[in-house]
Amino acid sequence: MPQRTGILLVVSGPSGSGKTTLCRRLADEGEANYSISCTTRAPRPGEVNGLDYHFLSRDEFITKRDGGEFLESAEVHGNLYGTLKSEVTDRLEQGADVVMDLDVQGAAQVRACTDTVIRIAAVDLFVMPPEKEELLTRLSGRGTDSSEVIALRMKNALEEMSHWPNYTYRLLSGSQEEDYSRFKSLVVAERMRISRLPDA
Amino acid sequence: MPQRTGILLVVSGPSGSGKTTLCRRLADEGEANYSISCTTRAPRPGEVNGLDYHFLSRDEFITKRDGGEFLESAEVHGNLYGTLKSEVTDRLEQGADVVMDLDVQGAAQVRACTDTVIRIAAVDLFVMPPEKEELLTRLSGRGTDSSEVIALRMKNALEEMSHWPNYTYRLLSGSQEEDYSRFKSLVVAERMRISRLPDA
């Protein structure tokens, strides 16, 4: 029997939601692949082209972007970042599940993608801290940041959080183990979805 | 925060798929309610009206059925059986999850229901034995049935199995513990679905 198409699991959530920990653990346990992003920023010491990032010149990046080759892209602090469609669809077509940790703008770009493989594969999750008080605690970090920095983080987190109704699933963050168990359940359930099976 | 609407989990699968065991265990563990069916057959010794079944006269049943009060109904060996919409929607609106073990015709009736609460709540799963050989073993029971009886069971099971592409999820039955773990994951995931949350 031919393999099902992989799941493209897009995970968003504010800083402090724990989404990156969830995505990394899923990849570390071999349950899903992280896609490798492209960037125009210079490699840092030890970073390997094609492993950590695909390092592109600004011209190369813009040519690919204008050619519609990116699934999502954004400019951050003057550098371009993005994920090539081919990077993701190749894995999905081989039946591998892919996890992407994206902000709300990136997730919206994936949602808007009309590519058939992406549309069949994609599902999105918003990870949300349960209470504002708890989020503030998490964003305060090790207590070394100024109140202005913390207030800005909180403002950004609240703005990000306002986008949750655009998603399919929402995980209210509790303990790390509970969160991961429910995150994993979502992957297990999505693997049973018939629309990604052959001959359905 | 107001509660989410419950999940209406419709489970189908041929005899031998283990679907009834999955549904009963979910209910036994307090994770979901079984809805109480109506029937026109006479109560058996020990059966309690309103607990095992709602026992109705044929006239009462047909009046309710013609009035569109049933979510699904069928005639089996001359007796009418069915589930009242109100029986299910009352629980769903209170945020309780409901599990229904239905054949493919019953599941099709739930899928066709236009009631808003049902449409938001309903999700369906087809439980499928992994291989025909294994199914034959399961259907052969304790070895006391004639080969004709077993052949008929097999024919019915194969007909039932041909309907799996109409469902949202498919569970390939393996060991009982694996099956239940994945079944439970489906419930956990569906509880995170935003379309059943208030203010989404």
pLDDT digits 0-9 by tens, A160-188:
999 999 999 999 999 999 999 999 999 99
pLDDT digits 0-9 by tens, A95-118:
999 999 999 999 999 999 999 999
Which backbone phi and psi does A108 adopt, to 5 degrees?
A: -65, -35
Helix (H) or strand (E) holding A172: strand A169-172
B136 confidence band (pLDDT: 50, 70, 90): confident
Closest partner residue to A182 (CB to CB) among B182, B188, B194 is B188
The pair of three-digit structure tokens given for residue B103, joined into one six-digit string: 């054949």
pLDDT at B137 > cutoff 90? no
Q: What Rg value do the Cα atoms of chain A yield, rounded?
A: 18
Q: What is the mean pLDDT of residues B98-110?
A: 96
- The answer to whether position A98 is within a domain reads yes
The pair of three-digit structure tokens given for residue B74, joined into one six-digit string: 């069928």
- The answer to whether position A150 is within a domain reads yes
pLDDT for res A1 = 47
Q: To the nearest 10°, report the CA torsion of A184, A185, A187, A188.
A: 120
Q: In angstroms, what CA-CA distances link A98 with A18, A175, A189, B117?
A: 18, 24, 15, 33
pLDDT for res B171 = 96
The pair of three-digit structure tokens given for residue A60, joined into one six-digit string: 């190369």
Q: What is the mean pLDDT of residues B145-162?
A: 89
Closest partner residue to A170 (CB to CB) among B167, B190, B192 is B192
**For A123, which residue in chain B has the nearest alpha carbon?**
B193
Percent of chain A with pLDDT over 90: 77
Closest partner residue to B197 (CB to CB) among A170, A195, A199 is A170
Q: How many CB atoms lie within 10 A of CB A77?
A: 6
Say which residue the tokens 């009462």 belong to.
B60
Our count of domains for chain A comes to 1
pLDDT digits 0-9 by tens, B11-56:
999 988 899 999 999 999 999 999 889 999 999 999 999 988 999 9
CB of A126 closer than 8 Å to CB of A170: yes
The pair of three-digit structure tokens given for residue A121, joined into one six-digit string: 């594969």
Distance in angstroms (rounded) separating the CA atoms of residues A123 and A171: 13
**Which ipTM score applies to this complex?**
0.90
Domain that holds residue A102: 8-192
Helix (H) or strand (E) holding B21: helix B19-28
pLDDT digits 0-9 by tens, B172-181:
999 999 999 9
**For B186, which residue in chain A has the nearest alpha carbon?**
A189
The pair of three-digit structure tokens given for residue B32, joined into one six-digit string: 């979901």
Q: Does B34 touch chain A (CB under 8 A)?
A: no
pLDDT at A27 > cutoff 80? yes
CB of B107 closer than 8 Å to CB of B124: yes
- The answer to whether position A22 is within a domain reads yes
B1 confidence band (pLDDT: 50, 70, 90): very low
Cβ pair A188:B165 closer than 8 A: no
Cross-strand bridge partners of residue A38 = A54, A82
- The answer to whether position A197 is within a domain reads no
CATH at residue B23: 3.40.50.300
pLDDT at A34 > cutoff 50? yes
Distance in angstroms (rounded) separating the CA atoms of residues A194 and A183: 20
pTM given for the model? 0.91
Q: Does B193 touch chain A (CB under 8 A)?
A: yes
